[in-house]
């Protein structure tokens, strides 16, 4: 049985997916919430939010993600970082998944990725969970109601958390599987309830498809000056570095918080919603995001709350530190209605340096920007494991290795070309530790980061005095006029009690960069290589 609105020429049945229970097509938010509650998938929260938990998986499973190795993609994929699945394994996986789905109810959303009509990708998302349907409806872009009648899915995602993969039979790694098949235009997800897999698989698709059209896909947030899309900024960064937090700036127009493309016409959001971390979310520091946690339909994942009042506890990370909320872009009051921006005037590379070495802001030459883009450095704090106090360095190329099917140099070259063509200014911003490494120092105050970004984006930072950093060679301002940022904060060495300890830590970090970068040296331009060699020498 089918309910809801769908293009009669493109139902699941016409796609060969038959034998399901009730299929709910394109339900809107109120009905999706009603279904989720009725199925016991979650609880109603304050303001009409939906409170859910994702069970065993509270984050993505990058090691269970596979790309099907068909002839048409075999020489385009970066197999060192992407796991292959055989076409035969995939075919069995698909058959077994369909057999598993028989008789069960499913929810279908017909959506698209890409706010620029010239580059959008129509995607059908078929989910077992009603709340996944609500989640992906928030996160991707929603067609007009009348466009549903003529919707033709280009790719289809099927997500069945209750399905268990068989590594032998399906040529995968565990019971959890995410498999992308570019030939069959299918993505199959099984064995995990973590909703973020849905949105990041669309991202992976676009990251594969767009470079061939000369479009740079970016794991970044973006915003622009009020009334002036020409003044666009993008913020690259790995998880937890501040993309979502810093792009929701009350003084600027939000384009998007996570995934964008850069075409000849400018930047465009791939998505239609945001997925924000809620750990220690404060009304004062992040008012815009805080508000969304009480708005109708916001999906709130893995948060502890009062069982009676449903009041959220932002400090309690006992389910996971990766607790989140998902909401449509327009829940941020100053979000762009078009989700389009100009060519980035400023490119910010965010890093959360828990070693406390990198300065809160530095200006990069184009070659340095390429070096940091290919390095993709951030660090994770130990914290969750007892006795582990050293921060863990993470180098994830293009600030998003798990979502990049192609070789990093391909994205690097495209970015470099666009930076040169449009004259963007590049910055490195450390949102991590100051005054010492994790354990001794403290996290950079959001206020300071915001003040520095404001100065960079409004151009006033260009007039500041700069010093050249001894360890990394980039330029660091020594004084920022009319801002709440004390000079000492700009020089991490001075924020440490023990300057010699800083120097040792800095040398170690330079060494880590150099060791990691060795893998790219043979594929890159000479000026970027020169930076790599200089760093290796100073380490």
Question: How many angstroms separate the CA atoms of 35 and 49, rounded?
Answer: 14
The least distance separating Mn ion from the CB of residue 224, rounded to whole angstroms, comes to 18
Do 175 and 191 touch, CB atoms closer than 8 A?
Answer: yes
449 binds, among ligand ATP, Mn ion, none (CB under 5 to 8 A by kind): ligand ATP
Residue nearest Mn ion, CB atom distance:
244
Helix axes 196-209, 130-139, angle to 10 degrees: 40
The least distance separating ligand ATP from the CB of residue 241, rounded to whole angstroms, comes to 5
Asked if residue 341 belongs to a known ligand binding site, the reply is no
The least distance separating Mn ion from the CB of residue 326, rounded to whole angstroms, comes to 10
Respond yes or no: is residue 104 known to be catalytic: no
Is the Cβ of residue 174 or residue 280 nearer to ligand ATP in the bound state?
Answer: 280
The least distance separating ligand ATP from the CB of residue 360, rounded to whole angstroms, comes to 8
Backbone angles phi, psi at 420, to 5 degrees: -65, -45
Question: How many angstroms separate the CA atoms of 462 and 457, rounded?
Answer: 10
Question: How many angstroms separate the CA atoms of 336 and 348, rounded?
Answer: 20
For strands 155-160 and 220-225, give the pairing. unpaired
Catalytic residue among 137, 224, 324, 372: 324
Catalytic residue among 65, 124, 141, 243: 243
Respond yes or no: is residue 3 known to be catalytic: no
The least distance separating ligand ATP from the CB of residue 232, rounded to whole angstroms, comes to 18
For strands 312-313 and 304-305, give the pairing. antiparallel
443 binds, among ligand ATP, Mn ion, none (CB under 5 to 8 A by kind): ligand ATP
Catalytic residue among 244, 267, 375, 495: 244
The least distance separating ligand ATP from the CB of residue 219, rounded to whole angstroms, comes to 7
Catalytic residue among 60, 119, 120, 260: 60
Do 427 and 364 touch, CB atoms closer than 8 A?
Answer: yes
Long-range contacts of 281-288 (CB under 8 A, 24+ apart): 281/314, 282/314, 285/446, 285/447, 286/245, 286/248, 286/446, 287/250, 288/248, 288/250, 288/332, 288/333, 288/334
For Mn ion (CB under 5 A), the number of binding residues is 3
Respond yes or no: is residue 243 known to be catalytic: yes
The least distance separating ligand ATP from the CB of residue 350, rounded to whole angstroms, comes to 7
Is the Cβ of residue 244 or residue 397 nearer to Mn ion in the bound state?
Answer: 244
Asked if residue 242 belongs to a known ligand binding site, the reply is yes
SS3 328: strand
> Using CB under 5 A, which residues numbered 439 to 478 contact Mn ion?
none
Which residue in 44, 193, 187 sits closest to 121, CA to CA?
Answer: 187
Q: Is 260 in the site for Mn ion (CB under 5 A)?
A: no
Respond yes or no: is residue 219 known to be catalytic: yes
407 binds, among ligand ATP, Mn ion, none (CB under 5 to 8 A by kind): none
Is the Cβ of residue 139 or residue 510 nearer to Mn ion in the bound state?
Answer: 139
Catalytic residue among 239, 293, 298, 434: 239
Question: How many angstroms separate the CA atoms of 457 and 499, rounded?
Answer: 31
Is the Cβ of residue 156 or residue 241 nearer to Mn ion in the bound state?
Answer: 241
Question: How many angstroms separate the CA atoms of 343 and 329, rounded?
Answer: 21
Is the Cβ of residue 280 or residue 389 nearer to ligand ATP in the bound state?
Answer: 280
DSSP 126-150: EESSHHHHHHHHHHSBPPPGGGGGG
Which residue in 195, 47, 50 sits closest to 129, CA to CA?
Answer: 195
The residues of the shown chain that bind ligand ATP, judged by CB under 6 A, are 237, 239-246, 258, 275-277, 279-280, 431, 443-444, 446, 449
Helix (H) or strand (E) holding 501: helix 499-517
Catalytic residue among 219, 363, 406, 416: 219
Q: Is 416 in the site for Mn ion (CB under 5 A)?
A: no
Q: Is 244 in the site for Mn ion (CB under 5 A)?
A: yes
Please list, in sequence order, all residues whose beta carbon lies within 8 angstroms of the beta carbon of residue 99, skipping any fewer than 6 positions away.
Answer: none
Please list, in sequence order, all residues whose beta carbon lies within 8 angstroms of the beta carbon of residue 223, skipping any fewer than 6 positions away.
Answer: 232, 233, 247, 249, 252, 253, 254, 255, 341
Asked if residue 48 belongs to a known ligand binding site, the reply is no
Respond yes or no: is residue 200 known to be catalytic: yes
Helix axes 499-517, 526-538, angle to 10 degrees: 140
Q: What b-and-e string marks burial along 367-384, b requiring 16 or more CB atoms within 10 Å of the CB? A: bbbbbbbbbbbbbbbbee
Backbone angles phi, psi at 199, to 5 degrees: -75, -35
Is the Cβ of residue 104 or residue 295 nearer to ligand ATP in the bound state?
Answer: 295
446 binds, among ligand ATP, Mn ion, none (CB under 5 to 8 A by kind): ligand ATP
Is the Cβ of residue 94 or residue 275 nearer to ligand ATP in the bound state?
Answer: 275
Do 157 and 65 touch, CB atoms closer than 8 A?
Answer: no
Backbone angles phi, psi at 254, to 5 degrees: -80, 125
Stretch that binds Mn ion, among 127-135, 239-247, 420-428, 513-521 (CB under 5 A): 239-247
133 binds, among ligand ATP, Mn ion, none (CB under 5 to 8 A by kind): none
Could you say which of 243, 343, 450, 493 contacts Mn ion (CB under 5 A)?
A: 243
The least distance separating ligand ATP from the CB of residue 240, rounded to whole angstroms, comes to 5
Residues at the binding site for Mn(2+) are 200, 219, 258
Residues at the binding site for substrate are 60, 194, 200, 324
Residues at the binding site for ATP are 200, 219, 237-245, 286, 324, 449
Active site residues: 60, 200, 219, 239, 243-244, 258, 324
Q: Which residues bind Mn ion (CB under 5 A)?
A: 243-244, 258
Residues at the binding site are 60, 194, 200, 219, 237-245, 258, 286, 324, 449
């Amino acid at each position: 049985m089918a309910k809801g609105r769908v293009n009669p020429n493109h139902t699941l049945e016409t796609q060969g997916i038959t034998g399901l229970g009730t299929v709910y097509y394109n339900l809107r938010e109120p009905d999706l919430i009603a279904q989720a509650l009725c199925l016991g998938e979650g609880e109603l929260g304050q303001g009409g939010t939906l409170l859910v938990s994702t069970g065993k998986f509270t984050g993505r499973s990058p090691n269970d993600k596979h790309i099907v190795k068909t002839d048409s993609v075999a020489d385009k994929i970066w197999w060192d970082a992407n796991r292959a699945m055989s076409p035969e394994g995939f075919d069995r996986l698909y058959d077994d998944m369909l057999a598993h789905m028989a008789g069960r109810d499913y929810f279908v959303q017909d959506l698209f990725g890409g706010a620029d009509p010239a580059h959008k990708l129509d995607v059908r998302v078929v989910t077992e969970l009603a709340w996944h349907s609500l989640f992906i409806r928030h996160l991707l872009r929603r067609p007009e109601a009348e466009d549903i009648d003529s919707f033709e899915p280009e790719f289809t995602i099927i997500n069945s958390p209750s399905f268990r993969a068989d590594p032998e039979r399906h040529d995968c790694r565990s019971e959890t599987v995410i498999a992308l098949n570019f030939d069959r235009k299918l993505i199959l997800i099984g064995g995990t309830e973590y909703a973020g897999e849905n949105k990041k698989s669309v991202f992976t698709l676009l990251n594969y498809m767009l470079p061939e059209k000369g479009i740079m896909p970016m794991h970044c947030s973006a915003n622009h000056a009020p009334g002036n899309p020409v003044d666009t900024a993008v913020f690259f960064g790995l998880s937890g570095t501040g993309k979502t937090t810093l792009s929701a700036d009350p003084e600027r127009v939000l384009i998007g918080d996570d995934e964008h493309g850069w075409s000849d016409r400018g930047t465009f959001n791939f998505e239609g919603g945001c997925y924000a971390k809620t750990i220690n979310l404060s009304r004062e520091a992040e008012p815009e995001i805080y508000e969304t946690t009480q708005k109708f339909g916001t999906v709130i994942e893995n948060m502890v709350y009062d069982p009676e009042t449903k009041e959220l506890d932002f400090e309690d990370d006992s389910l996971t530190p990766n607790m989140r909320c998902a909401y449509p872009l327009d829940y941020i009051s100053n979000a762009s209605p078009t989700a389009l921006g100009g060519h980035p005037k400023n490119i910010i590379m965010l890093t959360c340096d828990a070693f406390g070495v990198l300065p809160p802001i530095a200006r990069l030459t184009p070659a340095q920007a390429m070096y940091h883009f290919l390095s993709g450095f951030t660090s994770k704090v130990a914290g969750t494991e007892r006795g582990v106090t050293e921060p863990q360095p993470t180098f994830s190329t293009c600030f998003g290795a798990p979502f990049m099917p192609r070789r990093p140099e391909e994205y690097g070259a495209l970015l470099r070309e666009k930076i040169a063509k449009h004259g963007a200014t590049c910055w490195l911003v450390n949102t991590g530790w100051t005054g010492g490494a994790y354990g001794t120092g403290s996290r950079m105050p959001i206020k300071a980061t915001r003040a520095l970004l404001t100065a960079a984006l409004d151009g006033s930072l260009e007039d500041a005095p700069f010093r050249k950093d001894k360890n990394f060679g980039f330029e660091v301002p020594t004084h920022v006029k009319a801002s709440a940022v004390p000079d000492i904060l700009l020089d991490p060495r001075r924020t440490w009690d023990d300057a010699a300890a800083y120097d040792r830590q800095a040398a170690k970090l330079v060494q880590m960069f150099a060791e990691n970068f060795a893998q790219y040296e043979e594929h890159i331009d000479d000026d970027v290589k020169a930076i790599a060699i200089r760093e290796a020498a100073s380490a």
